[in-house]
Amino acid sequence: MLLTCHEVRPETADVTSFLFNSDQAVDFIPGQFLTLLVPIEERTSARAYSLSSIPGDERLKLTIKRVPGGRVSNHLLDALKPGDQLEAMAPAGEFHRDIAGSGAWLLLSAGCGITPVFSMLRERLQREPDADIVFVHSARSEADKIFPQELEALAAEHPNLKLHWVLGDNTDPDPFKGRLDLPQLQARVPDMRQRTAMICGPQGYMDAVKEMLRTEGLAEERIHSEAFVAPEPASVASSDAAGHNLSVDGIELPILPGQTVLDSLEKGGLPIFAACRTGVCGSCKCKGEKEKLESTSVMGLTPEEIEEGYFLACSSTVTGDMALELND
Ligand SMILES: Cc1cc2nc3c(=O)[nH]c(=O)nc-3n(C[C@H](O)[C@H](O)[C@H](O)COP(=O)(O)OP(=O)(O)OC[C@H]3O[C@@H](n4cnc5c(N)ncnc54)[C@H](O)[C@@H]3O)c2cc1C
Ligand code: FES
């Protein structure tokens, strides 16, 4: 689909929302993301961005944080302006309203991780104004709050929405002092184990929050999260460590212990398309030898495909020399 930028709306010092018109109807579930294809100099890069708008809004909205040194986020925040056009892939992703279900929600986000949960929140309240929702959002400071007016307005309008801000600089002593921890979460959300938790933010934040919820006895199947950044491989060995070889159409590529297949293919200049880079979109699917693969995600692959050797290059390392086929 082709998106045309309609408006650029700064949210904080390093976060900007972009509103787009699309050349076609876009059907998405709140929580899902679009993959933008962004031409920068001679190369087009694909990056996933959660929709912060909801179905029925006049325009699609993406809310993007500047990542220091990041290729695409800096380009978009510095250069994208009304009238510019970008190609995007259809909405995708498994972290959405439908897995959150219809019971009581506990939405937890930090920083730009607010985008998918904000969309889920708005859409649920539009459908079900009395929905029982607790929303805890962590920001570095008052100035780093994203969508504060919209959230305060929703909380004022919907008595069953309980909104809590956690400010890292500790300037807002109520309800949370400085940092999200279990005693404060217990005090504010005493019934958390009855809720379904939807979590999005930096990996360290999500790990800490999940640990709190598990300690509190929330069942694993009611804890859902989405990462914006692929976890660091456990250990990528130094370049002089003994590795293996990938063989692709007669081309041999080195791959180090702990290095993902995607990283090896990209460094070798092979044409692999990877949209999310975190094992959620399926675009980097390849076929290899299943007994030589170690994968952290097989999302979107059927058991039959896994049996046949299909895997996600962004989420897989190898334990031996391996021949592989790229997916066309
Ligand atoms: C499902 C999904 C949804 C996403 N939704 C959003 C969204 O709504 N808003 C948004 O701003 N981003 C979102 N992202 C992240 C986005 O896709 C890009 O990864 C991000 O914009 C950085 O891209 P870049 O090209 O600027 O950085 P790159 O050039 O790809 O990376 C530069 C360096 O920064 C690190 N890095 C990448 N992303 C981050 C990050 N978010 N925080 C800290 N370090 C990082 C990389 O590991 C790398 O070392 C989402 C990602 C996924 C997988
Ligand atoms: S790039 Fe999305 S699953 Fe690998």
The answer to whether 128 and 103 are in contact (CB under 8 A) is no
Tens-digit pLDDT profile for residues 97-110: 999 999 999 999 99
pLDDT at 175: 58
Mean pLDDT by runs of 10 across the 328 residues of the chain is: 98 98 96 94 88 97 97 97 96 94 97 98 98 96 96 97 88 67 90 97 94 95 91 59 87 93 92 86 92 91 93 94 89
Ligand 1 pocket residue status of 73, Cβ below 6 Å? yes
Does the pTM exceed 0.75?
Answer: yes
Q: Counting beta carbons within 10 angstroms of the beta carbon of residue 118, is it exposed (0 to 12), middle (13 to 18) or buried (19 or more)?
A: buried
User: In this predicted structure, what is the pLDDT of residue 174?
Assistant: 60
The pLDDT tens digits for 58-86 are 999 999 999 999 999 999 999 999 999 99
Backbone phi, psi, residue 154, to 5°: -65, -40
| φ, ψ of residue 287 in degrees (nearest 5) | -120, 130
**Which domains, from first to last, does the chain contain?**
2-92 (2.40.30.10), 97-226 (3.40.50.80), 244-326 (3.10.20.30)
Closest alpha carbon to 164 in 108, 229, 232 = 108
Question: Could you identify the atom of ligand 1 that is nearest to the CA of residue 15?
Answer: 11
- Looking at residue 171, its pLDDT comes to 65
200 C-beta closer than 6 A to ligand 1: no
Contact 103, 196 (CB under 8 A): yes
Mutate to test the pocket of ligand 2, among 95, 265, 315 (most ligand atoms within 8 A of CB): 315
